[in-house]
């Protein structure tokens, strides 16, 4: 029984130790004050913090540094070989020199092989570096989308508060009219019911806010309930470049395509190296051998070559050629995919621009005018309370949809920027509201 208790305590201690190991990095991160002196949070500030804190980027940077070191290794000569041997029985023998042999050799690859190996390593290093850019772009898109959610949920909470105040005003008007005998008690009760529904919406929105907060803190490698500053606003709307220009940007900057191009170049160089491998390498050697009695024969110099067997080298060339063909086809497929992705992303951004303009310039002013007319009619006694409540709901929904359209625009713009390989705001405008 005593042993069982000790065993349980031991397992419990192991669990606590495991939790401490897992939580220690998070607790260390919590010790900082990333946003302590900031009253508001911008999209660019969130992106900056996410890129600084994400552990994948330093890990990929270390991989790239390791790949860079292979360039010099690939270009370097093989180590020279030094050998030494003796004839033990000649030591101390009368009338005989001590027998020993010293030799030094250096292998020299066929001209061009070292350069090709260095180029292959360099292109592999370029592909590793582009992988870092790909990770940064993906994190940037995710952070911008999360910031759009952070902005929208606070806009929804603000709009809900405005509507609660507006409904309270309508309820007061209904109660005054009821007291004067100009309206039924039902109007005030309807207003109270709507107030309760808006209070319920507050609860739903607060839960949504906590969800978005947890998502952002996860990106920041922080505990999910750590507070964040209020959103400062979303960046300004900018005119999109032409589709042709965006296609050019994607072909020039998209990291996945650039990585494929680097790997394809490396494969082309491997194919050339496979051809060069059919030529022999030269080994130069020099030695001193006291086994010879004649002093003139003791110092030797020479050269040797390997005899390449063509069977396996033909197979290596075929393999390199097949890999190059595969990468060429992948590159062509990626170009076609990017062209389609750019077109679809542009159409989505343009759709969001049109929807946003529709709400901002037409639907929202109409909803506000409709509410003003309904309120005036109700106060004058020519309108009913249901029309007033309906107009108020329509205005609330229109405001929410306008903010939703703005958030959707920036999510879709972030997706487009990921495809074209860079921030369009940095190229064509950078002000934030």
223 in any annotated domain: yes
- Choose the weakest-confidence range: 65-74, 250-259, 381-390: 381-390
Q: Is the pLDDT of residue 359 over 50?
A: yes
State which residues form the domain around 111. 43-428
pLDDT in tens, 133-189: 888 999 999 999 999 999 999 999 999 998 888 888 777 777 777 776 766 777 777
pLDDT in tens, 317-332: 899 999 999 999 999 9
pLDDT at 67: 84
Count up the domains in the chain and report the number: 1
The CATH number of the domain where 60 resides is what? 1.20.1600.10
Averaged pLDDT of the chain: 84
22 in any annotated domain: no
Residue 145's nearest CA partner among 417, 425, 420 is: 417
With b for 16 or more beta-carbon neighbours within 10 A and e for fewer, the 298-332 pattern comes to eeeeeeeeeeeeeeebeebbeebeebbeebeeeee
289 in any annotated domain: yes
pTM of the model: 0.76
pLDDT in tens, 300-322: 899 999 888 888 888 988 999 99
Beta bridge partners of 83: 103
185 in any annotated domain: yes
Residue 31: pLDDT band with limits 50, 70, 90: very low
Alpha-carbon gap, residue 101 to 318, rounded angstroms: 44
225 in any annotated domain: yes
pLDDT at 7: 46
What is the number of other CB atoms lying within 10 angstroms of the CB of residue 358? 14
Q: Is the pLDDT of residue 115 over 50?
A: yes
Please name the helix (run of DSSP H) or strand (run of DSSP E) that holds residue 231, with its range, or none.
strand 230-231
Residue 402's nearest CA partner among 367, 378, 433, 370 is: 367
413 in any annotated domain: yes
């Amino acid at each position: 029984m005593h042993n069982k208790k000790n065993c349980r305590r031991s397992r419990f201690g192991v669990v606590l130790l495991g939790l401490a190991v897992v939580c220690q990095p998070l607790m260390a991160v919590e010790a900082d004050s990333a946003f302590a002196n900031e009253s508001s949070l911008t999209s660019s500030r969130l992106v900056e913090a996410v890129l600084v804190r994400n552990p994948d980027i330093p890990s990929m940077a270390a991989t790239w540094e390791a790949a860079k070191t292979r360039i010099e290794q690939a270009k370097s000569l093989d180590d020279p070989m030094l050998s030494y041997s003796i004839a033990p029985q000649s030591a101390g023998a009368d009338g005989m020199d001590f027998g020993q042999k010293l030799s030094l050799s250096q292998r020299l690859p066929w001209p061009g092989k070292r350069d090709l190996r260095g180029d292959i390593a360099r292109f592999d290093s370029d592909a590793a570096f582009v992988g870092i850019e790909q990770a940064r772009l993906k994190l940037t898109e995710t952070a911008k989308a999360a910031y759009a959610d952070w902005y929208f949920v606070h806009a929804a909470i603000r709009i809900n508060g405005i509507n609660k105040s507006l409904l309270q005003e309508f309820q007061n008007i209904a109660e005054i009219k009821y007291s004067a005998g100009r309206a039924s008690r039902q109007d005030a009760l309807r207003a109270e019911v709507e107030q309760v529904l808006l209070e319920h919406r507050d609860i739903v929105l607060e839960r949504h806010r906590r969800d978005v907060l947890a998502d952002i803190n996860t990106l920041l490698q922080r505990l999910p309930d750590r507070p964040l500053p209020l959103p400062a606003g979303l960046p300004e709307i900018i005119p999109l470049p032409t589709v042709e220009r965006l296609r050019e940007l994607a072909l020039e900057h998209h990291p996945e395509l650039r990585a494929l191009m680097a790997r394809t170049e490396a494969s082309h160089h491997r194919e050339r190296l496979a051809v060069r491998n059919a030529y022999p390498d030269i080994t130069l050697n020099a030695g001193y051998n006291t086994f010879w009695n004649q002093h003139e024969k003791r110092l030797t110099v020479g050269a040797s070559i390997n005899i390449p067997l063509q069977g396996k080298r033909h197979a290596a060339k075929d393999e390199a050629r097949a890999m190059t063909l595969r990468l060429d086809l992948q590159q062509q497929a990626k170009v076609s995919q990017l062209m389609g992705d750019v077109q679809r992303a542009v159409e989505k951004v343009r759709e969001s621009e049109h929807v946003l303009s529709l709400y901002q310039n037409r639907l929202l002013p109409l909803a506000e005018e409709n509410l003003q007319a309904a309120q005036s009619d109700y106060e004058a006694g020519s309108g009913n309370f249901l029309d007033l409540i309906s107009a108020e709901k329509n205005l609330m929904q229109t405001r929410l949809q306008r903010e939703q359209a703005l958030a959707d625009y920036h999510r879709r713009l972030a997706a487009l920027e990921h495809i074209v390989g860079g921030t369009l705001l940095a190229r064509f405008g950078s002000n934030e509201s």
